[in-house]
């Protein structure tokens, strides 16, 4: 059994984040915005349709069901343990401090790769929009650097300011997708409205397995609800509510929107249309069923969607880094909060500098911001998060079985989540080329990065156990 950690030293005011700043609605907005629904739908869903066929909406529902099972044990751990480190805390409690250190380091690296890689997408989207709307053609990296500055400034001002901004941006991108659905339904689609997308023949398409990586990645960051425990009002209630709300909303909304696009183009032509013009598919549907004005609005909201995602991921990364720094796994300087805004400002500054260095490196190398910065940098993050979810599910099973303090249904839900997440991880790794469009040698390296980072964290914990047992005993971020 894991030995209890020694009492922590009394914390100074600068060691505390802003308590009571977020309710369930604010937390839900943070994690749903991180998923960037409009960016996922307009930018990734056409690829899912072209590979998975008309059954693609079912892929998003399947991912939602698996993650809902995962959330049962995950939110139970939040209530039972009070841990604010999410994956890091729960894996420590279930599997020990060495595994927890590996998980903490992998979480920080995975979230950073997901966030920093998307600056390539943001830069290309803003570059294209300014050319189209204003006739101004500036390098993509200028927009990425400007976004890094905006994200840093909002993160520094505190979680409540970021939540308000994200709430507005999320409402706007959700509304424009709802307009698209209403337009398609009101016009009866291409061949009349039907549910053939959920028929056995559609679900038997082997391409559905290939798109599971896209589907799970579309929920990226939903589990970061637990990271806001220190800043949440009534965390034992607000965090579970926000977690379930995020999974339910994203799963149902994604499936509905993709179903509407299939109805708009028709079963016979949608796969070819998505393959021929994946970037323009959603805009074409919007033009046809709603009007050019809505397409222009969506053009702008795609930009705010990806910016909102960057803000949300920045906040999640900072809270992971803040917790790991308090426990001695990252430099202690990152464990101090801003004296006025009570935000993890030093962790935020470090993350922003790292993003700036990576973006500058790709820009100086003349790399393609989408095919290289987005696809190659994001891939280890997507694999890492799914691996962390699978390991967390195992840790939950071990912890709940050991303590025997919950209903059997919670334990069996966690067992089911463990099996299904492991299968999904295997499918993602097997089909990783669909995410990267890179040669096999590159894909092997990208996949290998994930266990390598985990191993480094385990090794660090072993070193601390020998040389700094006081820091080793604090691993886990649990009270």
The pLDDT of residue 121 is 86
The pLDDT of residue 237 is 83
Task: Confirm if 432 and 380 have CB atoms less than 8 A apart.
Answer: no
C-beta atoms surrounding 5 within 10 Å: 17
Per the model's pLDDT, the better-predicted residue between 183 and 222 turns out to be 183
What mean pLDDT is predicted for residues 182-204?
A: 90
Domain count, the chain: 1
1: confidence class by pLDDT, cuts 50, 70, 90: very low
- 360 within a domain of the structure (yes/no): yes
| Residues of the domain holding 289 | 13-472
- 1 within a domain of the structure (yes/no): no
- The encoded tokens of residue 152 equal 């840093």
Q: Is 425 helix (H, G, I), strand (E, B) or coil?
A: helix
Note the pLDDT tens digit of each residue in 210-251: 788 788 888 877 777 777 777 777 777 888 888 899 999 999
Per the model's pLDDT, the better-predicted residue between 437 and 298 turns out to be 298
Task: Confirm if 55 and 203 have CB atoms less than 8 A apart.
Answer: yes
The pLDDT of residue 278 is 84
The pLDDT of residue 2 is 42
- Single out the residue of 303, 302, 309, 329 nearest to residue 116, CA to CA: 309
- 479 within a domain of the structure (yes/no): no
CATH of the domain at 323: 1.20.1740.10
163: confidence class by pLDDT, cuts 50, 70, 90: low
Q: What is the C-alpha end-to-end distance of the chain, expressed in Å?
A: 17
- 6 within a domain of the structure (yes/no): no
Q: Is 149 helix (H, G, I), strand (E, B) or coil?
A: helix
- 257 within a domain of the structure (yes/no): yes
- The encoded tokens of residue 423 equal 């299968």
- Triad 61, 88, 76: Cα angle to 5°: 55
What mean pLDDT is predicted for residues 329-347?
A: 84
- 478 within a domain of the structure (yes/no): no
Task: Looking at 329-374, list the stretches that DSSP marks H as alpha helix, in order from N- to C-terminal side.
Answer: 345-364
- The encoded tokens of residue 376 equal 């190659």
The pLDDT of residue 179 is 96
Indicate if the pLDDT at residue 68 is higher than 50.
yes
74-79: list long-range contacts, CB under 8 Å, 24+ apart.
74/223, 74/226, 74/243, 74/392, 74/396, 75/239, 75/240, 75/243, 75/244, 76/396, 76/400, 76/406, 76/410, 77/396, 77/399, 78/225, 78/226, 78/229, 78/235, 78/236, 78/239, 78/240, 79/236, 79/240
- 403 within a domain of the structure (yes/no): yes
- 433 within a domain of the structure (yes/no): yes
Element (H, E) at 152: helix 140-157
Instruction: Name 176's Cβ contacts closer than 8 Å, sequence gap at least 6.
Output: 38, 294, 297, 298, 301
158: confidence class by pLDDT, cuts 50, 70, 90: low
Element (H, E) at 309: helix 292-326
Give the chain's mean pLDDT: 86
Per the model's pLDDT, the better-predicted residue between 7 and 424 turns out to be 424
The pLDDT of residue 433 is 85
């Amino acid at each position: 059994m894991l030995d209890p950690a020694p009492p922590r030293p009394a914390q100074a005011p600068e060691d505390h984040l802003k308590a009571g700043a977020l309710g369930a609605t604010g937390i839900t907005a943070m994690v749903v915005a991180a998923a960037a629904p409009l960016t996922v739908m307009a930018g990734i869903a056409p690829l899912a349709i072209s590979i998975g066929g008309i059954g693609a909406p079912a892929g998003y529902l399947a991912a939602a069901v698996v993650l809902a099972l995962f959330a049962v044990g995950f939110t139970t751990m939040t209530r039972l343990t009070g841990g604010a480190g999410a994956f890091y805390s729960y894996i420590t409690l279930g599997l020990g401090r060495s595994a927890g250190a590996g998980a903490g380091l992998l979480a920080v690296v995975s979230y950073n790769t997901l966030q920093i890689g998307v600056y390539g997408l943001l830069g290309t989207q803003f570059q294209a929009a300014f050319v189209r709307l204003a006739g101004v053609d500036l390098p993509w990296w200028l927009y990425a650097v400007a976004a890094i500055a905006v994200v840093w400034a909002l993160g520094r001002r505190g979680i409540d300011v970021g939540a308000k901004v994200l709430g507005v941006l999320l409402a706007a991108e959700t509304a424009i997708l709802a307009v698209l659905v209403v337009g398609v339904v009101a016009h009866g689609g291409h061949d009349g409205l039907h549910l053939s997308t959920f028929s056995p023949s559609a679900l038997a398409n082997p391409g559905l397995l290939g798109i599971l990586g896209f589907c799970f990645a579309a929920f990226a960051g939903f589990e970061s609800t637990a990271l806001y425990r220190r800043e949440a009002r009534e965390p034992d209630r607000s965090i579970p509510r926000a977690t379930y709300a995020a999974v339910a909303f994203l799963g149902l909304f994604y499936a509905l929107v993709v179903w509407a696009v299939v109805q708009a183009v028709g079963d016979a032509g949608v796969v070819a249309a998505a393959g021929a013009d994946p970037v323009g598919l959603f805009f074409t549907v919007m033009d046809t069923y709603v009007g050019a004005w809505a397409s222009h609005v969506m053009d702008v909201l795609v930009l705010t969607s990806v910016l909102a995602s960057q803000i949300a991921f920045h906040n999640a990364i900072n809270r992971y880094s803040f917790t790991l720094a308090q426990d001695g796994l990252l430099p202690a300087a990152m464990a101090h909060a801003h004296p006025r805004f009570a935000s993890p400002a030093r962790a935020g500054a470090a993350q922003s500098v790292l993003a700036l260095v990576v973006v500058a490196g790709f820009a100086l190398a003349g790399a393609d911001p989408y095919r290289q910065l987005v696809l190659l940098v994001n891939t280890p993050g997507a694999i890492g998060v799914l691996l962390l979810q699978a390991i967390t599910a195992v840790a939950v099973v071990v912890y709940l079985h050991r303590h025997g303090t919950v209903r059997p249904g919670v334990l069996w839900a966690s067992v089911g989540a463990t099996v299904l997440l492991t299968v999904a991880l295997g499918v993602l790794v097997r089909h990783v080329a669909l995410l990267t469009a890179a040669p096999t040698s590159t894909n092997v390296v990208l996949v290998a990065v994930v266990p390598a980072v985990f191993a480094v964290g385990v090794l660090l914990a072993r070193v601390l156990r020998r040389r700094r047992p006081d820091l080793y005993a604090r691993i886990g971020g649990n009270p």
